[in-house]
Structure 1
């Protein structure tokens, strides 16, 4: 369920009509619902009720500071994958003891940053990273809490670009080698083993892969405890998919996901950490755009919007589906016809949908891309020198612009023209 509903023929975000937001913030603009974010976070808390747990929101899904602050105020921890995301979490008011640092390529500088400023644990993904972390922590006189990310070689049955738990993926340490890696970790200075980490992919639409992976984690936990390690925490990652209204995918509910956790690892007495991102933010946001032209082509029509692949790259990158709906509801008997929905960027890949059945739309009409709250704004760029979309957070009948659209002056001011350009028209001397 989300809080984007038609009222009196106009699509609203909670109690705010979307045309009102378009008039104030322009288009394209991302619009997030605070109520939907809170509801989705709460479903995971309910799913794990009775188990010691912490829900660590995955910052990479939507890293707007207002979204993070809202999640933090509701009790969420944060899962970060870079020093920049760690800084965002701290700026949003998240204490270090609620921040988990994941990612395959942590630098020594990032390790030191988190050790100095506070971190719940590092999810370590390789032996070289483990040794580097030991050196950094020992040099600082600190102890780094560590969970080793294991790769269980489980097929998540999701898109190849978001699968992370197969043996050919770059993530984690093969589970068959986990005991030797934990033995090394226990012997290293500055390292304290606190648990096990696993994450097999994103947008999973069935529970069987989770069950298979978590069962392997339970088996490993028993073995590691027998080896003398204090396995007090299990980080089970994220990955639960979201429903896209016009597709046949019907992902399991958080309650059912919680049932898998209880069956597989619930008896171990460990604190459970999970790292949902898309399933919290995805359907809590829409991308609001305006029609520029309707172009008649040879055998097909094109609906050209002011949003483009630089604003929402998922359809181009993942062949992702987003429902596209008119902000003003069509008449019940309005005809529909196939149309290619595209943006103005000079790339054929700047196509959101092909042959999408839509009611008649004209220049100036507003449309909304549903399920755009995750991996939309965070993956955006300024390709073609297009300013990043604005971002708005709605709460009841009020909205705030939580990231303003940059001006062209802001964009151009970030570049610097060297002083030597244009001074000497002669070709530069060849270096020897």
Structure 2
């Protein structure tokens, strides 16, 4: 028998209830205070010698100018021209932007350069050529970080990275200031992070000894995780466990740690209302006005895991002491649209609200938001439940799913 766990969250039930009464559903709510505190606490732990970078793909809404994100981070990683334009509209200074990612073309690079961006990653020899050409055009050597591949499509073979460093005089308008390294997110343990930090330190020492080249900067993505499900085994989700190894690496190079999920994950809430309750062949189903098209967690497979969430009673009256098992389904016409299955609630009824936690990173963007041509949810910002601010209205998607 599976029961909902009364988890401790940043916002208490009373605050969530107050928000639920103030908004229409479905809706995402991002808690500014939680985001601030995670970034500030991280900075406090690692110290001033290590810079922190927010990867905005985790949640672009969190770099809205009203969040004052430049007070929290030294850098912002963008991986597309669209993300760059979000930074521009949000007032992120060009000198704080790292333009990263695969599939860079010369027009996008020029747009970034025109805005004032002067730090780029190199993920291929094509990128190397494009940036060298751009530097030649503007007669300015451009700072770059070469990304070392971790057996994925990203970055370049270590031997190719070394060959570029070895032959660096051939690239007149490339200023290789360092290395970019990221192997994946939601790491299950700290040992892999510690191994990677040791590898990066050894890499710095080797290229200095063999090629008389100093790695001045390393941008490193730790891949720390966020807890999403009931009974989830603890993974690598706190920076305290690796802070000494981070400091060891920062002793030999300027280190920037880059994360998105770790900073944003816990600040997000997804509110959805129960609109229908019924029993089919002995199974109690509750239909909510949201669904799998708006909520996605890394590791979620066919409702086999129960996301951390809370049940809010929205109508006054005495609660029944009995609990009952329910399967929670969304509004998408698919048998796959099951958010969680066989979960016990106390007196679940229509008009009640379910609030899904820790969906501040990726969740709302990875879901199939235009499926069935339903509206995309509102997005709100708050400060631990106070001063609610509408950041995005409902968006009709029918115009996206037909010939124009």
Query: Equivalent of 1:244, from 228, 231, 236?
Result: 228
Structure 1 residues without counterparts, runs of 5 or longer: 152-164, 418-432
Q: How does 1:218-367 map to 2 (within 5 A)?
A: 218-226=201-209, 227-244=211-228, 246-250=230-234, 251-263=236-248, 265-268=249-252, 270-314=253-297, 322-328=307-313, 334-367=321-354
**What is the alpha-carbon distance in structure 2 between the residues aligned to residue 125 and residue 371 of structure 1?**
31
What is the Cα deviation at residue 92 of structure 1? 1.4
What is the Cα deviation at residue 403 of structure 1? 1.1
Does 1:382 pair with 2:370? yes
Q: How does 1:348-427 map to 2 (within 5 A)?
A: 348-380=335-367, 381-395=369-383, 397-407=386-396, 412=399, 417=404
**What is the alpha-carbon distance in structure 2 between the residues aligned to residue 255 and residue 170 of structure 1?**
30
**What is the alpha-carbon distance in structure 2 between the residues aligned to residue 388 and residue 180 of structure 1?**
48
What is the Cα deviation at residue 46 of structure 1? 1.3
Partner secondary structure for residue 289 of structure 1: strand
What is the Cα deviation at residue 179 of structure 1? 0.9
**What is the alpha-carbon distance in structure 1 between the residues aligned to residue 334 and residue 299 of structure 2?**
10
TM-score (norm 2): 0.87
**What is the alpha-carbon distance in structure 2 between the residues aligned to residue 238 and residue 75 of structure 1?**
18
**What is the alpha-carbon distance in structure 1 between the residues aligned to residue 265 and residue 62 of structure 2?**
16
Map of 2:19 onto structure 1: 18
Partner secondary structure for residue 86 of structure 2: helix
Structure 2 residues without counterparts, runs of 5 or longer: 1-7
1:66-108 deviation line (CA, Å, top 9, x unaligned): 5465152423121111011111112212111111122122222
Map of 2:13 onto structure 1: 6
Map of 1:160 onto structure 2: none
What is the Cα deviation at residue 317 of structure 1? 6.5
Q: How does 1:123-202 map to 2 (within 5 A)?
A: 123-151=121-149, 165=150, 167=151, 169-202=152-185
- The more displaced of 187-196 and 236-245 is 236-245
What is the Cα deviation at residue 286 of structure 1? 0.5
1:295-329 deviation line (CA, Å, top 9, x unaligned): 31224322211112221133787667521211239
For the structure 1 residues 27 and 292, does the alpha-carbon distance in structure 2 shift closer, same or farther, using more than 3 Å as the test? same
8 A Cα contact 1:186 1:193, kept in partner: no
8 A Cα contact 2:229 2:306, kept in partner: no
What is the Cα deviation at residue 201 of structure 1? 0.7
For the structure 1 residues 199 and 406, does the alpha-carbon distance in structure 2 shift closer, same or farther, using more than 3 Å as the test? same
Partner secondary structure for residue 60 of structure 2: coil
**What is the alpha-carbon distance in structure 2 between the residues aligned to residue 205 and residue 170 of structure 1?**
21
8 A Cα contact 2:370 2:401, kept in partner: no
Does 1:102 pair with 2:100? yes
What is the Cα deviation at residue 370 of structure 1? 0.6
For the structure 1 residues 302 and 315, does the alpha-carbon distance in structure 2 shift closer, same or farther, using more than 3 Å as the test? farther
Partner secondary structure for residue 218 of structure 2: strand
- The more displaced of 35-44 and 320-329 is 320-329
8 A Cα contact 2:32 2:382, kept in partner: yes
What is the count of residue pairs matched by the alignment? 388
1:317-362 deviation line (CA, Å, top 9, x unaligned): 7667521211239999844443222211122222222223333311
Partner secondary structure for residue 245 of structure 2: helix
**What is the alpha-carbon distance in structure 2 between the residues aligned to residue 21 and residue 102 of structure 1?**
39
What is the Cα deviation at residue 245 of structure 1? 6.2
**What is the alpha-carbon distance in structure 2 between the residues aligned to residue 340 and residue 229 of structure 1?**
60
**What is the alpha-carbon distance in structure 2 between the residues aligned to residue 315 and residue 203 of structure 1?**
8
CA RMSD of aligned residues (A): 2.7
For the structure 1 residues 44 and 363, does the alpha-carbon distance in structure 2 shift closer, same or farther, using more than 3 Å as the test? same
